[in-house]
Amino acid sequence: MKNKLFLTILLLMLSLTMILAGCGSGGSGSSSAPGGVNTGIPTVVKLLPVQFIAQTNSFITLKARVLDGNGNAVQNYPVNFTNMSLTGVLSSATANTNSQGNAEVRISSTTPGFATILAQVTAGTGIVRDRKTVYFSSNDVLAATMSMDVNSVPGNATYNELSDITLFENATDDTAEVLVRVFDAGGVPVGGGWGVSWGTSHAEAIILRAETETNVYGQAKAVIQVTPETIRNTDTHVNVSAFAGNGSFNLTTLFLRPVVVSAGASSLTASPIIVSTGGTSTLTAVVKLNTGAIAPDGTTVNFTTTCGSVTPFGQTTDGVATGTFTAPLTEGICTVSATAGGVLIGSVDITATTTFAIQPGSLTVDGVAGGVATFTVVGGSPNYQIFTDSTVITPAPATVTTTGGTFSLTVPAGTPAGTVAITARDATGANASATLTITGTATALTLLPTATTIDSTPGGSLNVNYLVSGGTAPYTVHFTLLNYIDLLSPTQEGSVVGVAGTNSQAFIVRYSWINGVTASFTMQVTDSLGANVTTTVTLAP
């Protein structure tokens, strides 16, 4: 009897294991299998729009990156794309991944509005998927703005509390109220009568009721219900969108599980922080939770600014969301802020200026490891010609054609410590300057002996030992007079001595002469980065 009972329990455990192994579904950026397994089998899909906002009658490129359980790209695998919205048309419903694991399609629209795109892959582990929401705007300048705030149902007078943006905290908590405030280009509420259109990223997020016009205060509300609760098994959140007749739009996130964004661990940066009037700066928001983990993929980050304009939202991938700030046409300092999960995660000041300058004024690169330093030219009159005082570290491109344009300096690994002076010259002949500092333990190029004198009274030949050190090997040897280099010399004109990765090399030059000759010439040793050092050879009776 005991054996039969044990056998029954064992069979039940095996069946349960097989069922669990066969299950699989992915949420926004989630996977259906733990990392380190399913080699070569699609386990994670990340949908990566090249941009989240585009003008109507244009397109947005969508990249779906497919990875296996080890984080490696899955090649030549079909990805299905579905537009979950009425706005926009996909260029194709399927695409195969390339060598980097990316499958690409485009979405375009002739009308303004939001489009939510679902990318999914069917694999042996189940279905893995991701979705992102993009917006098509009929305005090329994002001047009008919209704010979005969330309250519980029933709620209180305080918006965007953790309990407001989190659903399913109890059995009946499946509803939230979203309030939009619509502003004109001057930041003033628009008043009544402006049309408002609402949408959600998931079919399970139902708009129970919505106000489709603003009231006299420029406000409108919608009540969103998420059902069934089982959506929590596959997704971490839903997004709610709205856009108004004055061209303003925005997006906000409702979480299906408790998610607490950490203001201290999250951050907002801008690059550059000094731009020309009318120029742009890239915003990067890093969103982390109080657990130390990154925010779920697809979490909305909302951007606001005190002047100029800004893309109102971005969505996270691997905890990072980006946006674009556009400076006003007048000089000033604009403060850009980012909010995620009802938490202010950071603010940054960006200066708009007409002063001709290279920004930043100085950068530092480790000469041992090497690296790339990127600068921005602001103000002045384009085009700008870029110069450095180095023959090795030169600008790319050498001509910047627009204010706010960038150029880079590449520092090869093993570059000796020092500084590089940078000059930008605009169309009027005015100059701006900056400095690149190269640090590290790389040493300057040296050659010993620094001079050699040979008694030529009797004719003959002589081997001279040299040591080159520092700089970046290998080294090339050149002579200003070749007729005194013996044909049997181990080192000849153009000889290469030393190998990459070493910092010194001994070599021999054999000199020959006839009796009583008088001559003086130079040997030059050049390293692989173009630095050089010389020594003199004198023949005299």
The helices-and-strands tally (H runs, E runs) of the chain is 2, 42
Token reading at 203: 């079919």
Token reading at 256: 């299906």
* DSSP letter assigned to residue 192: S
Which residue has 């990392």 as its token pair?
35
Q: What is the rounded CA–CA span in Å between residue 369 and residue 365?
A: 8
* Closest-CA residue to 222 (of 244, 199, 204): 199
CA 325 to chain centre: 16
From the candidate CATH numbers 2.60.40.10, 3.40.630.10, 1.10.10.1590, 3.40.50.1220, the one assigned to the domain spanning 22-138: 2.60.40.10
* Closest-CA residue to 517 (of 491, 481, 480, 472): 481
Residue pair 151/69 in contact (Cβ under 8 Å)? The answer is no
Q: Tell me the C-alpha to C-alpha distance, in Å, between residue 325 and each of 205, 241, 248, 314, 352.
A: 31, 21, 16, 12, 11
Residue pair 65/95 in contact (Cβ under 8 Å)? The answer is no
Other CB atoms within a 10 A radius of the CB of residue 367 amount to 22
Buried b (16+ CB within 10 A) or exposed e, 325-351: bbbeeeeeebebbbbbbbbebbebebb
Is residue 10 exposed (0-12), middle (13-18) or buried (19+ Cβ within 10 Å)?
Answer: exposed
Backbone angles phi, psi at 45, to 5 degrees: -120, 130
Q: Is the dihedral of CA 319, 165, 114, 106 positive or negative?
A: positive
Q: In a structure prediction context, what are the per-residue pLDDT tens digits for the chain, which is 541 residues long?
A: 444 444 443 334 434 333 333 333 334 434 344 445 678 889 999 999 999 999 999 999 999 999 998 889 999 999 999 999 999 999 999 999 999 999 999 999 999 999 999 999 987 667 889 999 999 999 877 889 999 999 999 889 899 999 999 999 988 899 999 999 999 998 999 999 999 999 999 999 999 999 999 999 999 999 999 999 889 888 999 999 999 999 999 999 999 988 999 999 999 999 889 888 888 999 999 999 999 999 999 999 999 999 999 999 999 999 999 999 999 999 999 999 999 999 999 999 999 998 999 999 999 999 888 899 999 999 888 999 999 999 889 999 999 998 889 999 999 887 888 899 999 999 999 999 999 999 876 578 899 999 999 999 999 999 999 999 988 889 999 999 999 999 999 999 999 999 877 778 999 999 999 999 999 999 999 988 788 999 999 999 9
Backbone angles phi, psi at 230, to 5 degrees: -65, -10
* DSSP letter assigned to residue 195: B
With H, G, I as helix, E, B as strand and everything else as coil, classify residue 157: coil
Q: Could you tell me the residue ranges of all domains in the chain? A: 22-138, 357-439, 446-540
Q: Give me the helices (H) in 148-213, please.
A: 162-165
From the candidate CATH numbers 1.10.540.10, 2.60.40.10, 2.40.30.20, 3.30.530.20, the one assigned to the domain spanning 357-439: 2.60.40.10
The CATH number given to 446-540 is 2.60.40.10
At position 142, the amino acid (one-letter code) is: L
pLDDT, tens digit, 9 for 90 and up, residues 480-498: 999 999 999 999 999 999 9
Strand 126-137 relative to strand 175-183, pairing: unpaired
What pTM, to 2 d.p., does this model score? 0.69
Angle, CA of 242, 247 and 252, to the nearest 5°: 25
* Closest-CA residue to 505 (of 453, 533, 465): 465
Angle, CA of 61, 67 and 72, to the nearest 5°: 120
| DSSP structure string for 350-367 | EEEE-S-EEESSEEEEET
At position 391, the amino acid (one-letter code) is: T
* Closest-CA residue to 96 (of 63, 118, 68): 63
Rg for the chain (alpha carbons), in Å?
A: 33
Do 357-439 and 446-540 share a fold?
Answer: yes
Q: What is the rounded CA–CA span in Å between residue 514 and residue 460?
A: 6
pLDDT, tens digit, 9 for 90 and up, residues 187-215: 999 999 999 999 999 999 999 999 999 99
